[in-house]
Amino acid sequence: MPSRPKEYIRLPGFGRKVTALMLYAEDCHLWLGPDHLLHVIGSRWYNEIYTRFYYRDIQAVMIRKTAGGTIAILTCLSLIGLIAAFSTFGILVWRWQPEVTIPICLAPGLPLLIIIFYNLIRGPTCKCHLQTAVSREELPSLGRMRTARRAMRLLEPRIQNAQGLLSGNDILQAENLILNSGPPKKQIPGNE
């Protein structure tokens, strides 16, 4: 018996959407369907929210780089600096034994180093939003630039197939329409 082709393809990325006054976070995933993009929030057995975005309705996918990863790295580096200063101060001023002080200071420093390397490996962070005619939806699963670019490489051909490509003349006509349709000119009484 021949196997059925997969109906949905999961896009790369995993994110969490913080809800309920930041008390808990729900998992978020994106799936490519035959004619739509499926956004799944809260993949728990008791609660899932599905949002469909048909390819023909997608107006824009906006990706902007954020400083979240850089801030996390700088925070961890400053904490490591404080730990190093504390241990040096303890050894020099309070006459702590280095063989006791160094392992005690490495205990909180090691997880901070892991966080730094994790952020360096994953790359820069970003925010991604999908725009339609009636809504703008944040896509938390595309929280890293590398992941967002990989997802866009998979999503863009499907949107182009559904909407078609604009020719050079279409772009020029739209540009002229936008430039020439400014705010209406006011008529000054007596200067007609």
**Tens of pLDDT, residue by residue, the chain (192 residues):** 567 677 899 999 988 887 666 667 788 999 999 999 999 988 566 788 899 999 999 999 999 999 999 999 999 999 999 988 888 877 777 777 777 777 777 788 899 999 999 999 999 999 999 999 999 999 999 999 999 999 999 999 999 999 988 777 877 887 787 777 666 666 666 655
Q: At what angle do helices 68-92 and 98-122 cross, to 10 degrees?
A: 170
Contact 85, 109 (CB under 8 A): no
Question: Is the residue at 189 inside a domain?
Answer: no
Same-domain check for residues 61 and 129: yes
Burial label for 13, CB within 10 Å (0-12, 13-18, 19+), is: buried
Same-domain check for residues 86 and 15: no
Same-domain check for residues 131 and 59: yes
Supply the pTM of this predicted model: 0.76
Same-domain check for residues 14 and 29: yes
Same-domain check for residues 84 and 55: no
Task: Give the DSSP letter string of the chain.
Answer: -PPPPPS-EEPS--EEEEETTTTEEEEEEEEE-SSEEEEEEEEETTEEEEEEEEGGG--EEEEEE-SHHHHHHHHHHHHHHHHHHHHHHHHHTS---HHHHHHHHHHHHHHHHHHHHHHHHH--BEEEEEE-SS-EEE-TT--BHHHHHHHHHHHHHHHHHHH-PPPHHHHHHHHHHHHH--SPPPPPTT--
Question: Is the residue at 166 inside a domain?
Answer: no
Q: Residue count of the chain, please give it.
A: 192
What is the domain extent for residue 103? 68-122
Total number of domains constituting the chain? 2
Could you tell me the CATH number of the domain that includes residue 147?
2.30.29.30
Question: Is the residue at 59 inside a domain?
Answer: yes
Same-domain check for residues 107 and 13: no
Question: Is the residue at 114 inside a domain?
Answer: yes
Same-domain check for residues 18 and 41: yes
Same-domain check for residues 104 and 23: no
Same-domain check for residues 78 and 103: yes
Same-domain check for residues 129 and 61: yes
Residues 6+ apart with CB under 8 A from 161: 55
Give the rounded distance of the alpha carbon of 32 from its chain centre. 17
Question: Is the residue at 175 inside a domain?
Answer: no
